[in-house]
Chain A
Amino acid sequence: GDSVTQMEGPVTLSEEAFLTINCTYTATGYPSLFWYVQYPGEGLQLLLKATKADDKGSNKGFEATYRKETTSFHLEKGSVQVSDSAVYFCALRSNFGNEKLTFGTGTRLTIIP
């Protein structure tokens, strides 16, 4: 079945540092890929997505590129801020007609001023 493997946390960085959170997936066919962010006490918000190979999703300075050859969708940001502190989830959705999302375990990110 489908699965998502995500870099384990927690991750602690200083403000303005470079961020990478690794995500790899296993799926049949050509899934859509997503990054969601969860701020403390809140639900999930879609951060960015990519629906086909070589697509790059971007939002709020975050980027991720859909790499079919390495089955990866790593999240990057060039300069993190304290307000980026949250839990980040990588997810996929099969495009075989079942619209459920399969999530990774999440990576807790803390940015220190």
Chain B
Amino acid sequence: NAGVMQNPRHLVRRRGQEARLRCSPMKGHSHVYWYRQLPEEGLKFMVYLQKENIIDESGMPKERFSAEFPKEGPSILRIQQVVRGDSAAYFCASSPPMQGVNTEAFFGQGTRLTVV
């Protein structure tokens, strides 16, 4: 059973370009979370999605950022018109449908976005 797969691992974009980050959850997992890690900081929650639904986007910047998790295919985090401050590591985590105190979220290896 493959783990959470994120691609690309490294992404370089010029200011003003679009960045698309992909996350394939573990097999059987229908819950996906995106987190951002700024240099020398902890992870900050961005968005929580289930298949075809955004459950909680309270951590998403209001502009330029969007996320989706379609019925088929990976979850996509999209950043339009990137700025230098978007440079960070973006981590995806997934968890299974049944939620409870023992539910564990599994993390991918992250995408490191550099805006030049």
Residues on A lying within 8 angstroms of B by beta carbon are 6, 32, 36, 41-46, 49, 51-52, 89, 95, 98-106
A-B contact pairs, 25 of them (CB 8 A): A36-B107, A42-B109, A42-B110, A43-B6, A43-B91, A43-B107, A43-B108, A44-B43, A44-B91, A46-B104, A51-B101, A95-B101, A99-B31, A99-B95, A99-B99, A99-B103, A99-B105, A100-B33, A101-B33, A101-B43, A101-B93, A102-B45, A103-B42, A104-B42, A105-B42
CB-CB nearest 6 A-B residue pairs: A103-B42, A51-B101, A43-B109, A105-B42, A43-B107, A44-B107
- Specify which chain B residues have a CB less than 8 angstroms from the CB of A41 in the assembled complex: 109
Among A6, A41, A104, chain B packs the most CB atoms within 10 A around the CB of A41
Complex alpha-carbon distance, A103 and B45, angstroms: 9
Q: Which B residues have a C-beta under 8 Å from some C-beta of A?
A: 4, 6, 31, 33, 35, 41-45, 48, 56, 59, 91, 93, 95, 99, 101-110
Complex alpha-carbon distance, A95 and B103, angstroms = 11
- Chain A-chain B contacts (Cβ-Cβ < 8 Å), number: 58
Q: How far is the CA of A51 from the CA of B100 in the complex (A)?
A: 10
Q: Are A105 and B104 in contact (CB under 8 A)?
A: no
A110 smallest CB distance to B (angstroms): 15
Task: Judge whether A101 and B101 touch: CB under 8 Å.
Answer: no
A104 to B41, CA, bound (A): 9
CA distance A89 to B45 in the complex (A): 14
Task: Please give 18 more A-B residue pairs, beta carbons under 8 A apart, in addition to A46-B104, A100-B45.
Answer: A6-B42, A36-B107, A43-B91, A43-B109, A44-B107, A46-B105, A99-B95, A99-B99, A99-B105, A100-B33, A100-B48, A100-B56, A101-B43, A103-B35, A103-B42, A104-B42, A105-B41, A106-B41
Chain B residues closer than 8 Å to A52, beta-carbon distance: 101
